[in-house]
Amino acid sequence: MNHLKTYILLAAMTALFGGVGYLVGGTGGMLIALVVAAAMNLFAYWNADKMVLSHFRAQPVEPNHPDPRVRAYLEDTLLLAQRAGLPPPKIYIIDNPQPNAFATGRDPKNAAVAATSGLLGLLSRDEIRGVMAHELAHVKNRDTLTMTVTATIAGAVAMLANFALFFGDRDRNPLVGLAIMLLAPIAASLVQMAISRAREYEADRIGAEIGGEPEALARALQKIEAYARQRVNVDAERNPAMAHLFIINPLSGRGADNLFSTHPNTKNRIAQLTEIARRFGRPIISAQEASKSGPWGAPSDRRRGPWG
């Protein structure tokens, strides 16, 4: 079913790309845009995950990494993948102070998960496990292909829309370029939003089942939300089309369930996870209580991150 959704999404984004091309350059522009879109779809299918990891300068984690927190992240993620019945994913780390994480890859055999240094420095070990169980749920649900390809094509639609101001047929309609520049990125963003929010709720639920610690994921979301607002993710701001990949929106000033939000309201997600924890008979501990102790030492030490 998720493959069907991916193909429908690709068709919709291709049609949008062709429509913008027609408005920019007429029939010739539409044909050129459709050819470009077809080539991009094919390229994105095989390479979008590499583009995302490269954009955020993700580095593979080695088993002999000197930081025990990074080694624990590697070991726990591999164990969770085994528990979920998934092939071992490639595991990356991003040197970025904003706590966040994402999964990518066209299928479970080619999946990768990435966490920021800020996340490993902020969260306790069980909370990191909760986050990675969520990301592996995306892999298990085969969300990663759809999410990664959408990021690639949405960015291309926005780029094409910007060209409209300079190459549009202004003799026919001087407002065409301006309208495309404004509306095309919004249309691409709406597609992102449509696929993101429902998938996040489902990944939270399945991640809770994989990890068996829904309360830890709930605490992690609460902490990530609070700290992400205080730290700007420069790489994400440079390419907002990739924002929906992350477990928490990495862009500044976003966080509510509204038309232009790529993520569900974090409070709603925590409420769902808290209810799951009650059904599991798990203890409910707030993020404030959890911050008083943990395997990585005092909270002030954890906030610095693995690289100091």
Nearest to 242 by CA among 144, 116, 139: 144
68 contacts 61 by C-beta, under 8 angstroms: no
Nearest to 247 by CA among 149, 92, 116: 116
Nearest to 192 by CA among 141, 158, 231, 243: 243
Question: Tokens standing for 138?
Answer: 């995306």
- Of 135, 200, 213, 225, the active-site residue reads 135
17, burial (CB in 10 Å: exposed 0-12, middle 13-18, buried 19+) = buried
Nearest to 50 by CA among 98, 112, 4: 112
40 contacts 153 by C-beta, under 8 angstroms: yes
Question: Tokens standing for 257?
Answer: 């369930």
289 catalytic, yes or no? Answer: no
**Would you please indicate which residues are annotated as catalytic (active-site) residues?**
135
